[in-house]
Amino acid sequence: MAGQTFLGAGHTYASEFINGKTVKEFKLSKAATFKEITYSTSTVNQDIFMVETKIGDPNTQIKVGVPNPISSLMTVSKRAKLDNRAGHYVVGAVNASFFRSNDKYGYAPTGVLSQDNKIVNYGVVTADSTSPMNIAVGFGIGANGEPIIDYTRPSLSFGFNGKTLPLYSMNSVREGNTGILYTKNNKLTTSGTNEWGTEIVITNTSKDPAQIGFGDTITGTVSEITRMTQPGDRTIPAGGMIVSFAGKDYADQLAGLKKGDTVSVSADIEAKWKDAKFIVGSGPLLVRNGKVEISMSANDYLVKDRAPRTVVAYDADYKKLFFIVNDGRSKASSGSSLTAMANYLILLGADYAMNLDGGGSSAMVARPYGAYEPVLMNTPSDGVERAVSSILEVVNTAPTGAAAILVLGSAPTLEVGMKAAIPLKYALDENYNPMSLSASQLTWTVEGGVGVMEGNTFVAKTEGKGTIVASMGGAVARIPVTVANSVPAGTKYLALDHFNSLSNWGTQTARSTVALSSSSYFAREGSSAKVDYDFTNSGGGTAAAYIEANQSIPVNGKPVAIGVWTYNDGSGHWLRGEVIDANGQTQKIDFTEPGGMTWKSWGYSEAKLDSNLAFPIKFKQLYFAETDAAKHNKGTIYFENLQAVYDAAYVEPAFTDLEKAPWAKSSILQLTSQSIISGYPNGQFGPNDNITRLQAATMISKQMKLATSNVKDPGFADVTPNTYGYGTIAAVASIGAMGGFTDGTFRPDATLSRGEMASIIERAYDLEGTTTKSFSDVKPGYWAYNSIQTILANGITGGYTDGTFRPNSPITRAEFSSMLDRYIN
C-alpha cells in the first residue's frame, strides 16, 4: 500500500445524504428488504436504491452471477433472470466487476473472480495509483458463510527445478515481461502468443488446470517448449495447460528447463479467503474497520467527481449486508464522489465497504410483490441498462409455504343491482415467494351488509359502504366497497357527450341527405357536431336528419330532462331525440314543439322525461324533422354538450364567459332573454370586448323595436343598401339616436367610446335631467358633458370608483349591456 493516500473518517466532509425519505420499501425474503431512499439539500438531490440483507438466514443467500462464457457481457436484468427459477428466486441483484476488452479473448472481469474456490478469472493488478485495481480488493462469502471485504493479495506461480517464477494472470494477453497461465475452455483453445517469449506446454497434470482453486498446486510434465524467436500460439492440451513468459529475462531463467521435466502451478491467497463460496474482485476499498480507507489516489477523478455508484458493505456485527446503487448525472440524482459515498456508508453502520463498477454500468434489480422475476429499479445514466460482466445476487431459496399475503384489485363504486368481479392481483407465501392462485380458490365474504359475493363477483344490494374480504388459511385481504346512488345528492347535471369526438356517431336519413363532421369554429367548448342537411328533394313527405350513437350512451340515475345546445339556422324545424329504457324499449323525447327551432345562433333546449320511464335509460338518437313541405330547405345545424339534468330548477348558463364580468351578468341575461343582444358562434358573450357602433345600433333598434326594412337611406358615404346592418343603421339614424362623422361616414365597425355612448342613449330615449354631481375627468365644455350629466342623473351610469367617467375610453359589451338594462328597468 506504499504511496497511497487514505482518507480517514475525520476528513472534513459536508454530508449530502440528509433529509432522507423512504419512498419505496418491500420485502424480498424473510431476511432481505428493498428500499428506495431520496435525499435532498438546497444544492443536490440523491436517489439511493438499497437491498439490505440480514446475514445468517439459511434461505437467503448471497451469490455471484458468473458470465458464461467468462468473456461475455449481459445486463443485470437479463443475467438475474437467467439464474431465476422456482426454489432459487433471484430477488435482488447489482452489477459487480469492472471489465475490460481482452483482445481475442473477448471481455473479462478486471479483478479476481472465483466460485466455490474455482478460479473463474484471475484478473489483473495495475501499478497505477490512479486505477481502482492498483491494489487487489475483493468481496466474498467466506467458508463460514460470513461476508468478507478486504485486500485479497492473490498469487499465482510456476515451479520448476527448485525455482519459482510469478505468473501475472490467467487466460489473458501476454504482455512484456509477464508470465500467463492458459487453461482450456469453450472460448480459449490456443495461447494466442507471439514469438517473443518462452512457452511451456504441460500435460499429465495432477488436476484439470481449468478447475484450479486457491490453495491448489497442480503438477504436470513438460511436453513441449518453444523458445524466443520460435512461433508461439501453442494449442492448449485437453486436461493440460500452457505457461507462457514474455521477454529475455524470463527466457534466461528458463534456459535449463527441458521436455519431460516435472513442473507445477500454484495458486494461493490469504487464509481468510481460502475455500470462499465466491470472491469478486473490484475496487477501490472504501471503508475498513469503520473508517474511510480509499485504496487509490485521492486526487483521481474517479474518487473526486460525482458519478453513479454501485457499492457493497456490511456492518461490524455481521448482521447486515448492503448492496447500494446511487443514481447520478440527472436532476433527480446527482451521484456522489467516492469520499461522499464512503461517509454515507459509515452513517449506515458499515464496517467494511468496497466500490463496484459504476457510472453507466450501475444497475439494481429487485422482485416487487406479485412478480416472478426481478425488474430494474433504478434509472441508469445511459437511459438504458448497460451490458456488464459479473453480478452479485440475493437469492431466496425458501420452499413454497402457506399463503401469507393476498392483494386484491380495487372494487369500483357500484349502483344497487350492479355486479363486478374482484380480481386477485397476486398472492405471496410466508417466504415472500409468488403463489399461483386464482380468485376462485379464495373464500369471499362481505362486511357491512351492502352486498353479497357470488364467487369472486360482488353483487351490490344496499346503498352504503362496506368491505370485501378474501381469505385463504391465515392470509386475509380486505378492500373497501361503496354502493351509491348512481347520481350523488346535489348533482345538477352530468355530461353525456360533448361531441369533441364523433367516433361513436353516425347518420340516418328520412327523405333527406345528411353529412356529419366536426367544427371547432361553431363550438362553445372544444368542437361541435356539424350536421349539413338537405330536405329539398323530400317529395313532400316528412323529412328528417338523424345523428345516432353507434353505442347507446348510458344515462346514470333518474334525470328529469335531457339537454342539448344547438346552433340553429332559424328554419323552424322540430328537434327530437330517442332513448332506450331499462326494458329495451325506445322512447321519443321532444326538445322543442313542432316548428319550434326558430332561434338563430346558440340556444339550449331540454327534453323533459316522464318520471314513469323504466330507468336507467340510454341515449340513442338526436334528430330534427320537418312535416311542412314548404319548409323543406337545406342548411347547417350544430350540436354540442348533450347532458342529463337532475335538478328541475337548474338553469343552464347562456354563455361560457360571464364570470369575466360578473357585475353585468344579470343585465346580459336579461337583454339576451329579450333577444336584444346575442353572443358569438363559440358560445361566448365577450363581455370585455369593445362594442362597435353597429352593435350598439343593433341593441338599440331591437330594444326600441324599430322597423329595419323599407327604411329611408341615412345618407352615409360608407353605408349602402348592400352594407351589413344597413336597415339597423338607417333606423337608429332616422330617430336621431346616432349620427355620422364630419366626413359623412358612419363607420359601423368603429369602436364606440363611453362619451359617444352617453350621447347616443340620451338622444335615443329623449332623456332629460341634470345633477350637481360630476366626474373629475369630464369638464363643462367637453362635447358630451351634458349627455353624461343626463345619464348620470337618470341612474344609468355611476362611473368608476375613482370618481372618473373616462369618456374617451372604449365601452365594452358588458358596460353597454349594463347601461341599457338600467334604462329599461
CATH class entry, domain 403-483? mainly beta
Q: What cell was used for 202? A: 504441460
Neighbours of 120 (CB within 10 A): 26
Q: What cell was used for 254? A: 528458463
In 3-state terms, what secondary structure has residue 336?
A: strand
How many percent of the chain have pLDDT more than 90? 73
Q: Do residues 406 and 427 lie in contact, with contact meaning Cβ atoms separated by under 8 Å?
A: yes
Q: Which residues pair with 189 in a beta bridge?
A: none
> Which of 371-385, 578-592, 776-790 has the highest average model confidence (pLDDT)?
371-385
Per-residue confidence (pLDDT) for residue 417, from 0 to 100: 65
Q: Is there a shared CATH topology between the 155-268 domain and the 403-483 domain?
A: no
Q: Do residues 193 and 201 lie in contact, with contact meaning Cβ atoms separated by under 8 Å?
A: no
State CA 543 to chain mean position distance: 51
Per-residue confidence (pLDDT) for residue 628, from 0 to 100: 95
329 half-sphere exposure, CB direction, 13 A CA radius: 15
Q: Which residues pair with 114 in a beta bridge?
A: 119, 279
Banded pLDDT at 104 (limits 50, 70, 90): low
Banded pLDDT at 7 (limits 50, 70, 90): very low
Q: Do residues 369 and 428 lie in contact, with contact meaning Cβ atoms separated by under 8 Å?
A: yes
User: Which position has the higher pLDDT, 266 or 3?
Assistant: 266
> In terms of Cα–Cα distance, which of 385, 322, 356 is closest to 78?
385
Q: What is the pTM of this model?
A: 0.62
Q: How far apart are the first and last CA of the chain?
A: 100
Across residues 601-626, what is the average pLDDT? Answer: 91
Q: Do residues 123 and 155 lie in contact, with contact meaning Cβ atoms separated by under 8 Å?
A: no
Banded pLDDT at 3 (limits 50, 70, 90): very low
Per-residue confidence (pLDDT) for residue 302, from 0 to 100: 92
> In terms of Cα–Cα distance, which of 702, 662, 815 is closest to 751?
815
Show the 3-state SS of 166-232.
ECCEECCCCCCCCEEEEECCCCCCECCCCCCEEEEEEECCCCCHHHCCCCCEEEEEEEEEECCCCCC
Across residues 607-625, what is the average pLDDT? Answer: 90
The helix or strand, by DSSP H or E, that contains position 791, with its residue range, turns out to be: helix 785-793
Show the 3-state SS of 361-402.
HCCEEECCCCCCCCEECCCCCCCCCCCECCEEEEEECCCCCC
Q: Where are the alpha helices (DSSP H) in 432-547?
A: none
> In terms of Cα–Cα distance, which of 677, 687, 814 is closest to 757?
814
Q: Do residues 769 and 794 lie in contact, with contact meaning Cβ atoms separated by under 8 Å?
A: yes
Q: Where are the alpha helices (DSSP H) in 511-614?
A: none
CA distance 206 to 182: 16
Across residues 253-262, what is the average pLDDT? Answer: 96
Per-residue confidence (pLDDT) for residue 267, from 0 to 100: 97
CA distance 199 to 119: 22
Q: What cell was used for 362? A: 450501475
Per-residue confidence (pLDDT) for residue 11, from 0 to 100: 36
Across residues 595-622, what is the average pLDDT? Answer: 90
Per-residue confidence (pLDDT) for residue 463, from 0 to 100: 83
Q: Which residues contact 329 (CB under 8 A, 6 or more apart)?
A: 306, 307, 308, 335, 381
Banded pLDDT at 440 (limits 50, 70, 90): very high
pLDDT at position 5 over 70: no
Extents of the domains making up the chain: 21-152+274-396, 155-268, 403-483, 493-652, 659-824
Per-residue confidence (pLDDT) for residue 4, from 0 to 100: 35
Show the 3-state SS of 601-657.
EEEEEEEECCCCCCCCEEEEEEEEEECCHHHCCEEEEEEEEEEEECCCCCCCCCCCC
Q: How many helices (H) and strands (E) does the chain have?
A: 10, 48
Give the type of residue at 65.
G
Per-residue confidence (pLDDT) for residue 131, from 0 to 100: 83
CA distance 520 to 682: 8
Give CB contacts under 8 A, 24+ apart, made by 780-787: 782/755, 782/807, 783/755, 784/755, 784/756, 784/758, 784/759, 786/762, 787/755, 787/758, 787/759, 787/761, 787/762, 787/763
pLDDT digits (tens, 9 = 90+) for 730-764: 999 999 989 999 999 999 999 999 998 988 888 88
Q: How many residues does the chain have?
A: 825
CATH code of the domain occupying 493-652: 2.60.120.430
pLDDT digits (tens, 9 = 90+) for 198-237: 999 999 999 999 999 999 999 999 999 999 999 999 999 9
Backbone angles phi, psi at 431, to 5 degrees: -105, 15
User: Which position has the higher pLDDT, 756 or 535?
Assistant: 535
Pairing of strands 169-170, 179-183: parallel
Per-residue confidence (pLDDT) for residue 100, from 0 to 100: 84
CATH code of the domain occupying 155-268: 2.60.120
Q: Do residues 197 and 246 lie in contact, with contact meaning Cβ atoms separated by under 8 Å?
A: yes
Per-residue confidence (pLDDT) for residue 481, from 0 to 100: 94
Place of cell 480507507: 293
Across residues 635-641, what is the average pLDDT? Answer: 97
Q: Do residues 486 and 557 lie in contact, with contact meaning Cβ atoms separated by under 8 Å?
A: yes
Q: Which residues contact 99 (CB under 8 A, 6 or more apart)?
A: 73, 107, 108, 109, 110, 357, 388, 389
pLDDT at position 13 over 70: no
Show the 3-state SS of 419-465.
EEECCEEEEEECCCCEECCCHHHCEEEEECCCEEEECCEEEECCCEE
CA distance 679 to 695: 11
Across residues 789-793, what is the average pLDDT? Answer: 89
Q: How far is CA 647 from CA 554, 565, 579, in A?
A: 18, 18, 19
640 half-sphere exposure, CB direction, 13 A CA radius: 23
How many percent of the chain have pLDDT more than 70? 97
